[in-house]
Structure 1
Amino acid sequence: MPLFLLPYPVIDPVMVHLGPFPIRWYAMGYIVSLIAGWLIAARLARSDALWGDVRRPRAERLDDLLVYVAFGAVLGGRTGYVLFYNLPYFLQHPLEIPQVWNGGMSFHGGLTGAALGAYLFSRREKISFLSVGDLCCAVAPIGLFLVRIANFIKPELWGRPTDVPWAMIFPGAGPLPRHPSQLYEAGLEGIALGIILALAVRAGAFRRPGLTSGLFIGLYGLARIFCEFFREPDPQLGFLFGGATMGMILSVPLVLLGALMVFYSLRRARPAARDLAAEGR
């Protein structure tokens, strides 16, 4: 037992009751992140200085993009959780599959679903999928931060036992003090990643389609792998092999894909640059 412990701030997981309907912090995290992301994305889409001559989504069409991405993220997130994290249970309790308000979402599945929604939107609007993805990824850390805070409030996805001075005893996690791993993820996946992407966008990342998306995917994968060393594995899965967790395994392809996207976007010559070079300007 560590000499010092931070008291866990017990917060009702239900934010407010609207008549007989409970509004949970978990659901509110998704709602606020979607609205905030939509507002910031609209502001980014209107900035000619950030995009140069790259064709991007029109700000007035982002309502449709929000619907595509939100639906894809929720459907993909729940599907990913069912398939990767708890398939035997849900095969026995299929009626619980749509009950997303009780928790149980996979980021990797949500990312896949959101990417599919962004792809369908890009096809309909006849815009580069990479540019649509860049805009979405630039605001995605908002959602990561808020949902990880909601995980902390619930509480769920707590950390492994530890003796660090900031350890906490989580309700429902037994008597051992644990890492507040939800806050680690909120800090790395939300705040730190958000700052890096904001700086990249200001430096002209939108002018190279795929660069912002690649940075987001790759850096998220690295942050998730790091945080998994402090996070308690899902009890129904435990450690898979060699101390690896499902979160680590699913994040490795993200790191590789992100690195390839960054390399491709930096190496790819812009058409305008080629034209100018050919003219000797």
Structure 2
Amino acid sequence: MIDSILGIIHWNTRPEIFSIGSFEVRYYTLCFLLAFICSYVLMLHIFKRENKSQELLDQLSIYIFVGTLLGARLGHCLFYEFDYYKDHPLEMILPYTFDANGNFMLTGFHGLASHGGALGILIGIFLFCRKTKTNFLWLTDRLVIVIPLAGAFVRIGNFFNSEIIGLPSDLPWAVVFERVDAIPRHPAQLYEAICYILIFILLWTIYHRKPQLKPGFLFGVFLILLFGARFALEFLKENQEAFEEGMKFNMGQLLSLPFVAFGVYLLLRPHKATAGKRKG
């Protein structure tokens, strides 16, 4: 429910769309699925435009889906809660608990890290390219067009979960996440979603208007803009883990810097033009 009082938005929507017993469907899950569906539809347009088969895209989708889930999960466990998961390694991939009666219960993944997801996607792309003999930069230049839109869906899911909240704010669009506390805060999740949508629009436009670009150009622009935005917006967010208190830059910012640096490298690296059309 949204309730606006004196210009402050009160957000107290439950994260579950519905539940049956211990089984529940969350808005976050729906947003995650929408991210993959929209990405698939847009990539299908790109593949058809470049005379690539839908079968090839279907194979790629499996690699991306698995890479995203495993990377995001392991990234959270290793980057943010290593002290716990180093003693409970099985829970990284099989999250479970025992109820009051000692019954085994799956809890679902409640910790996913976007930087880990990015690494998982890159590893998935590498393995896919090696198997199908596809050029890595050709593929990444096209895949990064749709990734920001997928990221926007995920951040909207975070908003529904009242997680990754912003710092206190007195701005007229500040949000009170009532499931967390009674303090008006920056809706940092929505800031990030908006940035990602703008990046998607920019990359989509460049791709369609500038067909002859240096291999790796769109990939580099994506890395700089997306992780640059992530770095900047972290200044408006609450730290996610206690160990980040007192750090000049939090974990999300530190993990963003290598991606930005690699993006700069891709844009500045020398490139020798080759004759003929670029091959996928």
TM-score range, shorter chain: 0.7 to 0.9
Indicate whether 1:219 and 2:225 are aligned: yes
Residue number in structure 2 paired with 1:41:
43
Residue number in structure 2 paired with 1:73:
68
Higher helix share: 1
**Could you say if the C-alpha distance between residues 80 and 20 of structure 1 is closer, same or farther in structure 2, counting changes exceeding 3 Å?**
closer
Question: Separation in 2 of the partners of 1:206 and 1:8?
Answer: 48
For residues 12-27 of structure 1, the aligned pairs below 5 Å read 12-17=14-19, 21-27=23-29
Matched to 1:199, the amino acid is T
Question: Separation in 1 of the partners of 2:139 and 2:246?
Answer: 35
User: Unpaired runs of 5+ in structure 1?
Assistant: 49-55, 275-281
Q: CA deviation at 1:57?
A: 5.1
1:253 aligned residue (239, 245, 258): 258
Query: Is the CA contact 2:63–2:125 (under 8 Å) kept in the aligned structure 1?
Result: yes
- The structure 1 segments of at least 4 consecutive aligned residues displaced by more than 6 Å after TM superposition are none
Query: Is the CA contact 2:19–2:25 (under 8 Å) kept in the aligned structure 1?
Result: yes
Higher strand share: 2
Q: CA deviation at 1:185?
A: 0.6
Instruction: Report the count of equivalent residues.
Output: 261
Deviation sequence 1:229-265 (CA, Å, 0-9, x none)? 10111132333533x111111111111111111223x
Question: Separation in 1 of the partners of 2:246 and 2:78?
Answer: 16
Query: Is the CA contact 1:137–1:216 (under 8 Å) kept in the aligned structure 2?
Result: yes
**Could you say if the C-alpha distance between residues 210 and 20 of structure 1 is closer, same or farther in structure 2, counting changes exceeding 3 Å?**
same
Deviation sequence 1:43-100 (CA, Å, 0-9, x none)? 111114xxxxxxx853331011000011011101111111111111334554543348
**Could you say if the C-alpha distance between residues 187 and 46 of structure 1 is closer, same or farther in structure 2, counting changes exceeding 3 Å?**
same
Matched to 1:271, the amino acid is T
User: Unpaired runs of 5+ in structure 2?
Assistant: 96-106
TM-score, with length taken from structure 2: 0.85
1:201 aligned residue (193, 196, 207): 207
For residues 119-158 of structure 1, the aligned pairs below 5 Å read 119-158=126-165
Q: CA deviation at 1:156?
A: 0.4
Matched to 1:69, the amino acid is I
Residue number in structure 2 paired with 1:277:
none
Indicate whether 1:115 and 2:122 are aligned: yes
TM-score, with length taken from structure 1: 0.85
Among all aligned residue pairs of Structure 1 and Structure 2, give the percentage whose two residues are the same amino acid: 31
What's the secondary structure of 2:177's corresponding residue? coil
Matched to 1:197, the amino acid is L
1:89 aligned residue (70, 84, 88): 84
Query: Is the CA contact 1:30–1:146 (under 8 Å) kept in the aligned structure 2?
Result: yes
What's the secondary structure of 1:260's corresponding residue? helix
Q: CA deviation at 1:10?
A: 2.8
What's the secondary structure of 1:124's corresponding residue? helix
Indicate whether 1:179 and 2:182 are aligned: no
